[in-house]
DNA sequence: TGATGCATGTAATCCGTTACATGATTCA
DNA sequence: TGAATCATGTAACGGATTACATGCATCA
């Protein structure tokens, strides 16, 4: 699933500018299972507009570039329905953290601790974000399910991490645990 | 973290050919948080050998191309220790499945059911793989932790999915649930 | 006899990130 | 005064996937 489809999906919930789409991806319900940068979002929107799948409207602003507000068209809805109508591919999960834990013999106890603490902070941050999304009323049908799924997965990881942290640090050469 | 480092990491647990490395990535402990294809593994190994971070030994075989067995060198160990000694980046999780669940209004009940069933099968497959890894004795220090973490995360997702499956299917337009 | 596993490699292509370019406003 | 937010865009570059090329052995 590419940025093109992602933009179409977000626009299906209401009009938005490229900048706002980026924020949705970073802070919204999409945030914990999708990524995209401006460098891919802006070209995707231009392309989508060129194909008539979205419309553009320039909103004038003082002291800033015009805000380009995109809205999905019926043709865009059709295209979205089409690309989304295939059995989805496998989830992809990449974790430098787990790679590091596997190869812990090569790192210092300090780095080990820093890595674990960062991971805990990341997970807690993600959970907080999901919580916020829950508060805000979501226009999407599956919002609650996605929030529940994300919360379950993230808090399961967090739980294991907190349980095993002391053990992981104790197993290291010298140096006491926290 | 790139395929180069990944190969180095796998070779740190013992010598292997490119083909075997691929199998490790697909079936071993690495499988649920890393991906790589032959198209990236073979060039990475050639590069690594060129830099003296690994050695190559050709094992003759009947009726097949020589098997090239790679082994990490002290220089390779140093390089691995160096690249691994930074606080890891954020986990990256991509899920077409969750995207589809969010946009469920656009898909048919049949596809919905197929997607959920596939996700359940994928998760169960991953869990079975972790279980197998646990049985096999792992040379890596963090193996147990990574297995525990992976199992917790995957089974949390699986639990939610099974709990909400009926609900998800009932929420759809016509068509009865299973 | 046809799929799957073993075994290596290259080239085209895709898709995306990072960095750069520009610049006003607002908050601390 | 310096950072963060708003706002859009391009170009260089990187990194990996996919498809192609080759071919024997084994199992069902």
Over the stretch B62-114, which tens digit does the pLDDT of each residue have? 777 789 999 999 999 999 999 999 999 999 999 999 999 999 999 999 999 99
Q: Please report residues of A whose CB lies closer than 8 A to that of B108.
A: 85
Q: What is the DSSP letter of B16?
A: B
Q: Which of A96, A99, A146 sits opposite B98 (nearest CB)?
A: A146
Task: Tell me the pairing of strands A54-59 and A67-72.
Answer: antiparallel
CA nearest to A114 within chain B: B87
Please say if the pLDDT value at position B1 is more than 50. yes
Q: Is the CB of B2 under 7 A from strand D?
A: yes
CA B108/CA A125 separation, integer angstroms: 34
Take residue A85 and report the two structure tokens written for it. Answer: 């109508």
Confidence of residue B165 (pLDDT cuts 50, 70, 90): very high
Query: Model confidence over A8-67: pLDDT tens digits?
Result: 999 999 999 999 999 999 999 899 899 999 999 999 999 999 999 999 999 888 777 789
Strands (E), A15-169: 54-59, 67-72, 92-94
- Please report which residue ranges of chain B form alpha helices under DSSP H: 3-11, 18-27, 38-50, 74-84, 96-102, 109-135, 143-170
CA nearest to B142 within chain A: A102
Query: Model confidence over B35-70: pLDDT tens digits?
Result: 999 999 999 999 999 999 999 999 888 777 789 999
Least confident of A29-38, A47-56, A80-89, A131-140: A131-140
Please say if the pLDDT value at position A150 is more than 70. yes
CA A61/CA A141 separation, integer angstroms: 33
Give the pLDDT score at A177.
40
Do A34 and A9 touch, CB atoms closer than 8 A? Answer: no
Give the pLDDT score at B172.
65
Q: Which residues, 6+ apart, have CB-to-CB distance to A152 below 8 Å?
A: B156, B157, B159, B160
| pLDDT > 70 fraction of chain A, expressed in percent and rounded | 96
Q: Which of B103, B149, B160 sits opposite A98 (nearest CB)?
A: B149
For residue B49, the Cα-to-chain-centroid distance in whole angstroms is 24
């Amino acid at each position: 699933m590419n940025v093109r489809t992602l933009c179409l999906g977000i626009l299906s919930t209401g009009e938005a500018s490229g900048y706002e789409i980026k924020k949705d991806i970073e802070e919204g319900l999409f945030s914990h299972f999708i990524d995209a940068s401006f460098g891919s979002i802006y070209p995707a929107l231009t392309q989508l507009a060129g194909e008539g799948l979205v419309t553009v409207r320039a909103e004038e602003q003082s002291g800033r570039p015009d805000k380009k507000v995109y809205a999905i068209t019926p043709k865009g809805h059709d295209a979205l329905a089409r690309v989304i109508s295939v059995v989805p591919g496998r989830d992809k999960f990449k974790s430098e953290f787990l790679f590091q834990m596997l190869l812990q013999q090569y790192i210092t106890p300090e780095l080990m601790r820093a890595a674990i603490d960062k991971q805990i902070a990341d997970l807690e941050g993600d959970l907080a974000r999901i919580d916020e999304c829950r508060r805000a009323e979501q226009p999407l049908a599956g919002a609650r399910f996605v929030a529940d799924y994300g919360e379950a997965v993230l808090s399961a990881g967090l739980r294991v991490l907190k349980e095993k942290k002391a053990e992981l640090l104790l197993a290291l050469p010298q140096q006491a645990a926290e």
